[in-house]
């Protein structure tokens, strides 16, 4: 380290302590958690915020952030939220100033630990710079949480059961073209959801798979589709147009009809993102029933 940097750091330390003591005349702990560059920048650019209105956002209420792991919590928050700025500096609580990290989201201070702070003093940093504070077991815990959220949060954007059942019935001309089969199966996720199986609905003929969920029009070789999704035929349920009609009338929802537990979590296409997870057992409304009955009368 250059002599000029050492001198700047020493004077910046003293200057920062004076600023913090102006608000709360208590010990300042944790200078060793900052680089000389961060300390000098903090002295020049940081603003003291006393008696802040800090918030704990929904994402952090769900993810179990822990006291004493502020740097890691803020780092993980950057993976959970958009429009998110990571901050590093000092915060005051319980009779001392401590090295601390927090976040700024849409102009609000976001506190990621269960401790209420009396004041904040810090600078924006690159969120990835906080990764060095995260232990391997903490990363695993966060990865497990994200996978669990992908399974249980179900954003209900998908319509695979409804869209493909309707399209299959229409292409079958309500029985006059019976070559199609509606399928409820279990493809494996891809990308961040790799290794997780999801319930999904499509329909097929002898050689092709058709998927019209979320306004899309996918036509793919059955062999390729089954290989990509690692789909096990023994886990699939196949329905003729007549069986689809019977299930709709009996259950009054679009499916799944013969799956239970985790299998009811549905996905649009072979999923690689949480936003592709749909909502199971969507009820038939009056318009749906009129559509079904009018088709059967043709």
Tokens of 52: 């802040």
pLDDT of res. 61: 57
pLDDT of res. 233: 92
pLDDT of res. 270: 46
pLDDT of res. 194: 60
With a CB cutoff of 8 Å and minimum separation 6, the contacts of 88 are: 34, 38, 71, 99, 100, 101, 122, 123, 125, 129, 130
pTM for the structure as a whole: 0.52
Q: What stretches in the chain show pLDDT beneath 70?
A: 1-10, 57-67, 146-158, 189-196, 260-280, 296-298
**Alpha-helix runs per DSSP H in 130-271:** 136-152, 160-171, 222-228, 241-251
CA 107 to chain CA centroid, nearest Å: 22
pLDDT of res. 192: 52
pLDDT of res. 187: 85
Q: What is the average pLDDT score of the chain?
A: 81
pLDDT of res. 151: 43
pLDDT of res. 248: 92
pLDDT of res. 154: 36
């Amino acid at each position: 380290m250059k002599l000029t940097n050492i001198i700047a750091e020493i004077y910046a330390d003293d200057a920062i302590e004076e600023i913090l003591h102006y608000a709360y005349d208590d010990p300042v702990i944790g200078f060793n958690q900052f680089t000389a560059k961060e300390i000098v920048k903090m002295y020049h650019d940081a603003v003291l915020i006393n008696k802040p209105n800090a918030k704990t956002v929904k994402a952090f209420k769900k993810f179990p952030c822990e006291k004493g792991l502020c740097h890691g919590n803020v780092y993980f928050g950057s993976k959970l939220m958009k429009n998110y700025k990571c901050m590093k500096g000092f915060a005051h609580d319980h009779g001392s100033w401590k090295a601390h990290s927090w976040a700024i989201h849409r102009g609000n201070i976001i506190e990621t630990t269960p401790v209420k702070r009396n004041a904040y003093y810090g600078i924006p940093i690159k969120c990835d710079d906080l990764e060095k504070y995260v232990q391997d077991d903490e990363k695993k815990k966060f990865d497990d949480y994200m996978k669990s959220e992908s399974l249980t949060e179900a954003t209900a954007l998908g319509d695979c059961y409804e869209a493909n059942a309707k399209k299959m019935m229409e292409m079958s001309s309500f029985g006059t073209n019976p070559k199609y089969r509606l399928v409820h199966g279990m493809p494996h996720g891809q990308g961040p959801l790799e290794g997780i199986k999801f319930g999904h609905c499509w329909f097929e003929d002898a050689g092709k798979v058709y998927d019209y969920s979320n306004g899309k029009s996918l036509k793919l070789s059955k062999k390729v589709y089954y290989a990509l999704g690692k789909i096990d035929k023994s886990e699939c349920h196949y329905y003729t147009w007549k069986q689809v009609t019977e299930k709709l009338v009996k259950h009054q929802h679009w499916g799944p009809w013969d799956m239970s537990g985790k299998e009811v979590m549905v996905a649009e296409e072979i999923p690689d993102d949480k936003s592709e997870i749909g909502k199971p057992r969507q009820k038939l409304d009056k318009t749906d029933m009129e559509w079904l009955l009018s088709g059967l009368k043709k």
